[in-house]
Every structure is written in C-alpha cells, then in structure tokens.
C-alpha cells in the first residue's frame, strides 16, 4: 500500500513538473531568443554570447514606437477596466439584490453569456464602420469602448457570484436602522466584495492589455497597442525575431506584476460558488 502511495505521489509530481514545463517552456524559450543576435537565432544556437541589443533597439531606437505603444495599452487597459468595474458592479448588484422578474434577469445573463462566446473578430467589421461614421476611427476611444463591451460580461458574472454569496441580512439591518439602499451598498456591500473587485479588475486589465484582433483593425501606427506593435516586427520582407522576442518579454511585465499581487483574489473569484 505504501509502495502504491509512493508511486502515486511520484506520478503526481511528474505530471505537475510537466504542466509547469508546458506553461513556462515557451516563455523561457522566447526570453532566450531575446538575448541573441539575429544570426544566432537563425542558426538555432544554444551556446551564444548574450546581448541586450534587441532590448536597446526596441526601447530606444528612432524607428521603434514601443514606449508609445506601451503608453497606449496602459491608457486603454486602465480606462476600460475602470468603466467595466463601475458598470459591471452596478449591474451585478442590481441583478443580485433588486426585485427583477426572473425571466428578465435570466434573459440578460443569458445574452451576456452568449455575447461572451462570440469571437471578437466577427464584430470588428461592424465596429469599424460605426466608428468611422461617428469620427472615432483610429482612436484610443474606439478601442476603449470595444474593450468595455468585450469584458463586461465576465465582470458581471464574477461580481454576481460575490454579491449572491453576501448575506442580505447585512443590508436589511442597515436599512432598518435608517440607511438608504445606496448607502448600504456603498458602506456595507461594496467593501465586503473588494476581493471580487480586485479579481475582476486584474482579469479585465490583463485581457485588455493582451487583446490583439480588435486593436489590429481599429488602430493606426500612432494609436497601436503593445500586441499590435509586436506583430509589426514581422514585416513583408523581414521578420525581426530578436526584437519581437524582446518586445514580447517586456510586454509581459505589467501582467505578471498584477497577477503576482492579485492571484489569490483571482482564484477566489473564479471558484466562488463552487464550494459551499
């Protein structure tokens, strides 16, 4: 019995190590390429003199707009996350607490779920035509509005899980003592669902930061975000593998920092309601 338990534990460790390798392997490989000269990348060398040329070229060369692209992504991700949290939290609270008809709430939630399953690329064409007609073509405002639309369903569902798990008695007791519903929401419910806000905000920011297909079609060179900037290192007659690898590594830093500090809340938010 002990032998079988030892084998089971060994198999578990091996599977865990395999999973870690599958996740970290590609990132480590890209990081390795970012410190190679172009000739070493094309030769596939494992032993090479490391260089920071690719990072210098991406960050400081005159032909690179990467820092501006980082600023564009930061603006888009931050503003879209801010409005997603506001609208999503209010919508989730309304569905969880107010006396909506069951079929209205079910229809709304069903529509958000279906919309979240639609590939964003199928919506790019109509969005492009709409923004061109109203004068928002090739602007960050257009990208922000699309990102709010794309990430709102996820936020509503996550925040509904938190509000549904929160006892109604807390708000009812406050309202019995003379507190208005808006005050009960602001002073009691909202502070208690702060972990949900953090989890939803981290996910919305990371998804917005990494979004590619919509930004590719709705931005120009001046308004391009980081994923679009990375893709543009692959030109018609030349693919700058080293610069693309360096830009990819740099682009992961904000997401890694956010996930490092918010991973506990993200896991809690994704598993909310799974265990009672």
Would you list the domain boundaries of the chain?
63-271
pLDDT digits (tens, 9 = 90+) for 128-171: 999 999 988 889 999 999 999 999 998 998 888 888 888 888 88
- What number of residues does the chain have? 276
Q: Which CATH number fits domain 63-271: 1.10.645.10, 1.10.3720.10, 3.50.50.60, 3.40.190.180?
A: 1.10.3720.10
Decide if pLDDT at 185 tops 70: yes
Nearest to 215 by CA among 148, 152, 138, 131: 138
Decide if pLDDT at 59 tops 80: yes
pLDDT digits (tens, 9 = 90+) for 240-270: 889 999 999 999 988 888 877 777 666 665 5
Among 13-17, 114-118, 222-226, top mean pLDDT goes to 222-226
Residues ≥6 apart with Cβ < 8 Å to 262:
198, 199, 201, 202
Does residue 199 contact residue 269 with C-beta atoms inside 8 Å?
Answer: yes
pLDDT digits (tens, 9 = 90+) for 208-235: 999 998 999 999 888 999 999 998 888 7
């Amino acid at each position: 019995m002990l032998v079988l338990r030892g084998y089971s534990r060994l198999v578990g460790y091996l599977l865990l190590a395999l999973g870690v390798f599958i996740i970290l392997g590609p990132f480590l490989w890209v990081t390795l390429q970012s410190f190679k000269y172009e000739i070493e990348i094309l030769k596939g060398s494992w032993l090479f003199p490391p260089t920071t040329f690719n990072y210098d070229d991406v960050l400081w060369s005159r032909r690179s707009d990467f820092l501006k692209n980082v600023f564009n992504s930061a603006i888009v991700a931050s503003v879209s996350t801010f409005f997603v949290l506001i609208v999503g939290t209010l919508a989730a609270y309304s569905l969880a607490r107010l006396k909506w008809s069951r079929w209205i709430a079910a229809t709304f939630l069903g529509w958000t779920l279906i919309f979240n399953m639609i590939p964003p690329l199928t919506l790019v064409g109509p969005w492009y035509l709409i923004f061109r007609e109203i004068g928002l073509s090739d602007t960050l405002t257009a990208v922000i509005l699309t990102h709010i639309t794309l990430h709102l369903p996820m936020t509503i569902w996550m925040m509904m899980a938190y509000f549904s798990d929160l006892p109604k008695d807390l708000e009812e007791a406050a309202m019995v003592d003379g507190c208005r519903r808006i005050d009960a929401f602001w002073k009691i419910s909202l502070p208690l669902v702060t972990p949900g806000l953090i989890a939803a905000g981290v996910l919305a920011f990371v998804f917005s930061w990494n979004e590619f297909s919509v930004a590719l079609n709705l931005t120009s060179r001046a308004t391009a975000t980081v994923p679009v900037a990375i893709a543009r290192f692959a030109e018609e007659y030349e693919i700058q593998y080293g610069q693309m690898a360096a830009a990819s590594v740099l682009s992961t830093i904000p997401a890694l920092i956010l996930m490092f500090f918010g991973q506990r809340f993200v896991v809690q938010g994704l598993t909310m309601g799974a265990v009672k």
